[in-house]
Chains A and B, each alone.
Chain A
Amino acid sequence: MSLKPVMTGRGLTKRYGRVTAMDKADFDLFPGEVLAIIGDNGAGKSTLVKALCGAIHVDEGEIRLDDRPIAFKSPMEARDAGIETVYQNLALSPALSIADNMFLGRELYKEGIAGAVFRMLDKKKMRDFARQKLTDLGLMTVQSITQAVETLSGGQRQGVAVARAAAFATKFVIMDEPTAALGVKESRRVLELILDVKARGMPIVLISHNMPQVFEVADRIHIHRLSRRHAVIRPQDFSMSDAVAIMTGAMAPPQEIALPEGALVSPPSVASAAGEVTSGR
């Protein structure tokens, strides 16, 4: 049995003028896994993630989704392809209701003339769907689906953003620092949400600085360093301090890229890139 990656990136390079933000970076995401991406500030995590979700175009390299090469021109195209992103700033419209926010930019219209000619929104259907999705994720402690997002707490807003992504994603969900602005209790709730979404079979790319959280929920950890993929480890094989040591260059990265059971994957763009880079510096 072979496990084909959902998305792969090979030799991804992005330059901003004379700065190389991403230098022949590789990336693999497999079905049903939580892949954490960690790395120091400036290591190029954001650039990698932006390339995956269509916010930037790479100068070189190839991104394949379900083994088909893709080149997103905008986050919208990525979204249409089934990749949803939970942005750090959440991208919610505070004055609009929870239901409105979930359907922002992809509203449902009534059937028949009302929808076709007068473009009338099917508010009931949208509310029911939103309520259903939030309930599925155990979030319906919020009073009402029609209350404005600005009246929600930080954790609740995060919940709405995650629910929106989980509801519409068909390929995978990217979460950028989902717990960065949250308290201990709310972080816990969001981590449970992540595992919940994973349990539904949806792969997740998790960008985080929080080591305990990464080690708890991730199946594999992609360590980004010096603008490329430096190592991929399994959390059960290494300690947090090892991961930090690899991330900061204090420890040599393992030679092989950790893969899920039975994974079928094309070779990395630079053979044993990680080792060479470390010895080169």
Chain B
Amino acid sequence: MADERAAPPRGATRGPQDYESALDKGPQDVASFEVHDTSPLARFHHFLHANPTAAPVVVLVFSCLVFGTVANNFFSPFNLSLIIQQVTVIGILGAAQTLVILTAGIDLSVAAIMVLSYMVMARLAVQGDLPSILAVLAGLVVGLACGLFNGGLVTRTRLAPVAVAVLAWVLLLSFDLPLIYVVPVGMAAGLVVGWFGFGPALALRLPPFIVTLGAWSIFFALNLWYSESETIRSQDLDAAAPLLKIFGLRVEILGAQFTLGSFLMLGIFLVLWYALNWTGWGRAVYAVGDDKEAAELSGIRTDRILLSVYGTAGLLCALGGWAAIGRVGSASPQSFYEGNLDAITAVVIGGTSLFGGRGSIFGTLFGALIVGVFRSGLKLGGVEVLWQTFAVGLLIIVAVAMDQWIRRVSA
């Protein structure tokens, strides 16, 4: 050993860093930035990349201008407020969907959750003679339970809550409790179990697309079972539970009529904007969608975040359901069949990436408004419904193409 140590380090004769000697001759700045390509297109590109909400705003303003010049009464206060009323429900569903899509997931069951929730509200209030406020709370609980059902399957395949809910249904039905109470109570029982994480969990993470596709069918079937395919009529709601239609009430501001539902939608967007941009939870939602593994290594409990996101989405869907009763007037189990797709459309047109981690909550509001403006403008211009739908389809494809183009900045 001694001779080993006495020997001169072989590296010293040539210097292990010889190959780096050329570095001294080159420029010394390591982390400097190249000057950005200053062509107008490149600058526009960079601007859109840095401001995800900018693209939908530009499209919204532009389409308003076009339709305003083509159709005479487009800019009438009545028409503008009508557009906002029309996008209220889809806007709220879109807000829920945005949360899920930001985590690189998707929730195909948002409309089904919404319909099930508002049927619970309406039936409990009208046929169950429950105080309206309790009926509404029950509907919100059902929405939350549905969301957590999805979230539970996406994070850890936890089946105990489902088993508890089904067990409670069987048990309560055997006591001759009416169906209208059984379903929400069973789901609340499942919610409690799921909430506190009781029961074993399989170490499986199921893909959101498939889970929520299944959930869509399950919630839809539950809804038909619960509602017995019966619509709760408007006059019954008026008589028994005017609270359920509160979001249909109108207030007049500057000659335009706004429903309370529009304000609910705006409130939801503001709260979510705050949560996503000003809280650690919001940073975590983006991080999970951006790179789940990196988020995990950075100390984010990704399963908890995902569960909270799906749960919040379910709760928002139920709130959307409350607004939907006000908007439609009655509560029908068959409505909003296309609500899922409309919500995803609003999110995509709003510039939120389906790959997760990129987008903004207000983009979705603008996305929903763009669809509303297109439909309204084309209708005022005398274009048939089928061409309105055609135009919305084109919008989606253009929006996705834009998203891909904008994302290229980072590639």
CB proximity of A137 to chain B, nearest CB, Å = 11
Q: Find the A residue at minimum CB distance from B5.
A: A237
**Chain B residues, CB < 8 A from A11:** none
With A141-B32, A150-B410 as contacts: A105 and B294 at CB distance below 8 Å: no
Contacts between chains A and B (CB distance < 8 A), count = 128
Q: Find the B residue at minimum CB distance from A243.
A: B11
Q: Judging by beta carbons under 8 Å apart, are B31 and A139 in contact?
A: yes
With A105-B298, A239-B10 as contacts: A184 and B19 at CB distance below 8 Å: yes
Q: Find the A residue at minimum CB distance from B30.
A: A189
Q: Judging by beta carbons under 8 Å apart, are A94 and B290 in contact?
A: yes
**Chain B residues, CB < 8 A from A212:** 11, 16-17, 19
Q: Judging by beta carbons under 8 Å apart, are B286 and A106 in contact?
A: no
Q: Judging by beta carbons under 8 Å apart, are A92 and B294 in contact?
A: yes
Say yes or no: is A10 at the interface (Cβ < 8 Å to chain B).
Answer: no
**Chain B residues, CB < 8 A from A136:** none
Q: Find the A residue at minimum CB distance from B357.
A: A95
Measured in the bound complex, the distance between the Cα atoms of B26 and A76 in whole Å is 42
**Chain B residues, CB < 8 A from A189:** 30-31
A91: contacting residue among B5, B9, B298, CB under 8 A: B298
Interface size class of B (residues with CB under 8 A): 35 or more
In A216-261, the 8 Å CB interface with B consists of 216, 235-242, 254-256
A151: contacting residue among B26, B29, B410, CB under 8 A: B410
Q: Judging by beta carbons under 8 Å apart, are B26 and A185 in contact?
A: yes
Q: Find the A residue at minimum CB distance from B289.
A: A95
With A89-B293, A96-B283 as contacts: A104 and B299 at CB distance below 8 Å: yes
Q: Find the A residue at minimum CB distance from B18.
A: A212
**Chain B residues, CB < 8 A from A104:** 283-284, 287, 295, 298-300
**A-contact 0/1 string along B1-45, CB 8 Å cutoff:** 100110101110000110110010010011111000000000000
Q: Judging by beta carbons under 8 Å apart, are A141 and B31 in contact?
A: yes
Q: Find the A residue at minimum CB distance from B288.
A: A93
B293: contacting residue among A91, A185, A240, CB under 8 A: A91
Q: Judging by beta carbons under 8 Å apart, are B297 and A188 in contact?
A: no
Say yes or no: is A215 at the interface (Cβ < 8 Å to chain B).
Answer: yes
**Chain A residues, CB < 8 A from B23:** 184-185, 188
With A184-B20, A185-B30, A216-B17 as contacts: A121 and B9 at CB distance below 8 Å: no
Measured in the bound complex, the distance between the Cα atoms of B356 and A96 in whole Å is 12
Say yes or no: is B390 at the interface (Cβ < 8 Å to chain A).
Answer: no
Say yes or no: is B200 at the interface (Cβ < 8 Å to chain A).
Answer: no
B278: contacting residue among A79, A101, A120, A150, CB under 8 A: A120
A93: contacting residue among B5, B11, B295, CB under 8 A: B295
Which stretch (A25-33, A60-68, A152-160, A265-273) binds chain B?
A152-160
Q: Judging by beta carbons under 8 Å apart, are A120 and B31 in contact?
A: no
**A-contact 0/1 string along B281-324, CB 8 Å cutoff:** 10110110011011101111000000000000000000000000
With A89-B293, A91-B294 as contacts: A151 and B279 at CB distance below 8 Å: no
Q: Judging by beta carbons under 8 Å apart, are A254 and B278 in contact?
A: no
**Chain B residues, CB < 8 A from A235:** 9
CB proximity of B299 to chain A, nearest CB, Å = 3
**Chain A residues, CB < 8 A from B16:** 211-212, 215-216, 240
**Chain A residues, CB < 8 A from B290:** 93-96
CB proximity of A233 to chain B, nearest CB, Å = 10
Interface pairs (11), CB distance under 8 Å: A89-B294, A91-B294, A91-B298, A93-B290, A93-B298, A121-B280, A188-B30, A236-B9, A237-B5, A237-B9, A239-B10
User: Which residues of B are at the interface with A, using a C-beta cutoff of 8 A?
Assistant: 1, 4-5, 7, 9-11, 16-17, 19-20, 23, 26, 29-33, 274, 278-281, 283-284, 286-287, 290-291, 293-295, 297-300, 357-358, 409-410
- Chain A to chain B: the 6 pairs with minimum beta-carbon distance, closest first: A105-B299, A239-B10, A91-B297, A212-B16, A107-B280, A150-B410
